Structure 1
Amino acid sequence: MNPNIDLNAKTVNVYPLPLTYSYAEAMHRILSDKGWFTLPKSMLSGMTASCFRLSVHRQLHKDSPTAYNWMAEHTVAAELIGVIAAQSAGYQFAPTFPLYQQKAIRDIRKSLDQGTGAIVWKDQFVVITGYDDHKQIFYYIDSPTATDGLELPYTRLGRNESPYWYYQIYEGQFETEIPQMIRESFIQAVYKAEVHDPMLPESQYACGLLAYDAIEQAFISGIYDADGAYETFMYYAICKKEAASYTREACRNWPELEATARHYEHLSAVYEEITTELSLNQGAAACFRHTKLLDLVRAAKNAEAAAIQSIRLLLREPIENRFHDVGLR
């Protein structure tokens, strides 16, 4: 696939995206099976602030949705909903990897013995559901619709095409109040919109509201991964839809969120239009597609900026009390 694609000469290869797990989907599968979270996935995506994150590669590579600080964000995600989590990550080429691999195997088996699955990175987030010590394998599922477990030999745990390994297990719960969870999730939404992820080099990635400027520049220059752009927008369209659903539901506890809910609903509608434009066949006039996409990206930025501003107005005091780091908890 050629990453240097001219919008005026290249259309997206449209294909059904595979139903794979995002981190929030994998987390929801485990916690709902455990009985620790009984609300829809959109509520977990909102309460953990996962649906509010936006990070993109400046050439819109398909790794954009998973380009963020897993350790930091997943720790906060679990804490926000009152779950005690343990996790570890690193590079498989490190000389200490075999030691970490053995510890991961022990930790995951222990969690499974207690009736709790584990999240593992296997070039996407997957859920470990069981193991067979005699065969030295784990069983895992890699999509929300999967029922039969795939096999992962112990020796292959963490050995991915990408150089990273990661796992997270859940050890218990602590009491937290729904109003506080909702309030904190929207503070985190502001943080994700305004602060660049320090793990990502700014020369290659853009985060939050600044991601829209990077997307716009990619479309104007024509130097971007068309299939990656399609996958990225499909993923974030789901996130924006969940943000809208979550905010609308949160209005039941906090009616003052009504304006914010309308902004996110508008944002979700704009993302649907963007994915439709990216799916157009080659018969569409190139100049029309070029103008329409740029207009939609700018509309999305305005809608998201309006949503964040409305949250800032509602939570001005707690946000300002965190001085220069709104992400502090």
Structure 2
Amino acid sequence: MKRTVPGLTWSRQSKTFVDCLHAVLEAAGLWSEPKYMLSGKTGMAFKFCVHQELLPLSVTAYGEWVQEHQPAAENIGIASAIYAGHTRHHTFPLYREAVMREMKASINRGVGVIFWEPEFCVIYGYDDDDQVFFYSDGRSGEEKIKLYDNFGLNFTPYWYAHLILGKVERDPLDVVLQSLRTAVREWETPYKTPPNTDIGSGQLAYRYWITALEKGGFHSFGASYILSSAAQSKRELHAYFREAAPLVSALTYIVPLYGELDALYQDLVAHHSKNPTKQAMALKEASAMEEQAMQCIRAVLAEHPAADRPMPRWGSAPPR
């Protein structure tokens, strides 16, 4: 018998993980704010990586997904269970069997599941009789199917399934401040996928991007995808800071900066998407503007030092 989550629809606008998370949470009644607030509060809008050759993978190569997505969701009070790995691992079939049971249970509760197809997509139903999952890729309203036997298999070596367990309320100010800490960390961290150094993050991402445009020989679709994704992130951040400013008055100085960044990127998308020279010149200006914004954010954080951070869920902390 076919089981589905009612009202779970989405389209590609932001990073696909953000699009999927927003769709799943909204359909489950766990989120009611605009998507740009989700993108900002989770810190996902600040994640910005670029491959030296401007490959399309730049947009999702912002780190190890479990380590990136779990804290992002937890910052808005969302608890997750994430299964991920390489399909070449001998234990993959066992993990797949276990996660598919949990996915069905989640759908029965009215909560969709985020998975990597690629890119990130949403499973919103299943049918045990036909042995299929029903999912949406955000490109159209067409219902797509994934055979149980093929779950986790795609043209990349990775598989990923993200289940939402529930939500707790968090202090709004703490959420915003933690998103600002994420902003600075993303800007100052040069490499998010070590030991690889061909993908730069934050400031280095701009340098890689500008160098590739000036040198030539880059991936044309990747260049277009990176530009459209970055433009959407700046638009989200402009709106996010506008709404977050009442919580932290100093953010009012950042709103105009991201307004200028938003306008700059929208102009590039609308009028110069095929002009590498014009893009490189504008991106140098954008990089300087973002550094100015980060200086403002650092000043805000200096006035709101972090309290003792909670013990990491995994890591080197000894048992007590």
- For the aligned pair, the TM-score class normalised by the smaller chain equals 0.7 to 0.9
Secondary structure at 2:30 match in 1: coil
Which moved further from structure 2: 313-322 or 25-34?
Answer: 313-322
Q: How far apart in 2 are the matches of 1:175 and 1:272?
A: 35
Please give the alpha-carbon distance, in whole angstroms, between the structure 1 residues aligned to 2:14 and 2:232: 13
2:293 counterpart of 1:316: no
- 1:88 matched residue in structure 2: 83
Deviations 1:65-104 (A, max 9, x none): 1102211110011111001101011111222111111112
SS at match of 1:212: helix
Question: Equivalent of 1:306, from 274, 292, 310?
Answer: 292
Deviates more, 1:158-167 or 1:212-221: 212-221
1:165 to 1:290, Cα distance in 2 relative to 1, 3 A: closer
Alpha carbons 1:55, 1:206 under 8 Å: kept: yes
Q: Aligned-pair distance for 1:116?
A: 0.7
Alignment of 1:166-315 (within 5 A): 166-280=160-274, 289-315=275-301
Unpaired runs of 5+ residues, structure 1, are 1-16, 281-288, 324-329
Query: CA 1:123 to 1:296, structure 2 compared with 1: closer, same or farther past 3 Å?
Result: same
Over 3 Å counting, the alpha-carbon distance change for 1:190 and 1:226 in structure 2 is: same
1: distance between equivalents of 2:109 and 2:34?
Answer: 24
Corresponding pairs, count: 298
> What is the letter of the counterpart of residue 146 of structure 2?
L
TM normalised by structure 2 equals: 0.87
* Residue 109 (structure 1) aligned with residue 95 (structure 2): no
CA displacement 1:227-264 (0-9 Å, x = unmatched): 21011111111111101110111113222201111111
Is the contact made by 1:67 and 1:200 (CA closer than 8 Å) also made in structure 2? no
Match of 2:43 among 49, 57, 60: 49
Q: Give the TM-score taking structure 1 as reference length.
A: 0.85
Determine which structure has greater relative contact order: mean sequence separation of CA pairs < 8 Å that are 6+ residues apart, divided by chain length: 1
Distance 2:103 2:74 in 1: 20
Q: Distance in 1 between matches of 2:35 and 2:244?
A: 14
In structure 2, the partner of 1:161 is: 155
Show the counterpart of 1:125: 120
**Matched-pair contact (CA < 8 Å) for 1:25–1:144:** no
Distance in 2 (CA, whole Å) between partners of 1:312 and 1:250 is 16
Pair 1:70 & 2:65 matched: yes
* Aligned equivalent of 2:4: none
Equivalent pair of 1:56/1:64 in contact (CA under 8 Å)? yes
Higher mean alpha-carbon deviation, 173-182 vs 137-146, is at 137-146
Contact 1:57–1:64 at 8 Å: present in 2 too? yes
1:15-54 aligned within 5 A? 22-54=16-48
Give the CA deviation at 1:178. 1.1
CA offsets per residue over residues 86-129 of structure 1, 9 Å max, x none?
A: 10111112221111111121111111111111000001111110
Q: 1:20 to 1:177 in 2, by over 3 A?
A: closer
State the secondary structure of the residue aligned to 1:159: coil
Alignment partner, residue 144 of structure 2: 150
Distance 1:197 1:139 in 2: 36
Please give the alpha-carbon distance, in whole angstroms, between the structure 1 residues aligned to 2:16 and 2:260: 23
RMSD: 2.2
Going from structure 1 to structure 2, the CA distance change for 1:107 and 1:229 (only over 3 Å counts) comes to same
Q: Distance in 1 between matches of 2:268 and 2:195?
A: 26
Give 3-state SS (helix, strand or coil) of 2:106's partner: helix
Runs of 4 or more, structure 1, over 4 Å off, are 17-21, 317-323
Give % identity.
32
Task: Quote how far apart the aligned CAs of 1:302 are.
Answer: 0.8
- What is the alpha-carbon distance in structure 2 between the residues aligned to residue 30 and residue 199 of structure 1? 27
- What is residue 7 of structure 1 aligned with on the other side? none
Task: State the shift of 1:278 in Å.
Answer: 4.4
Change (3 A) 1:44 1:145: farther
Change (3 A) 1:307 1:300: same
Structure 2: unaligned runs, 5 residues or longer: 1-10, 310-320
Q: Distance in 2 between matches of 1:56 and 1:207?
A: 7
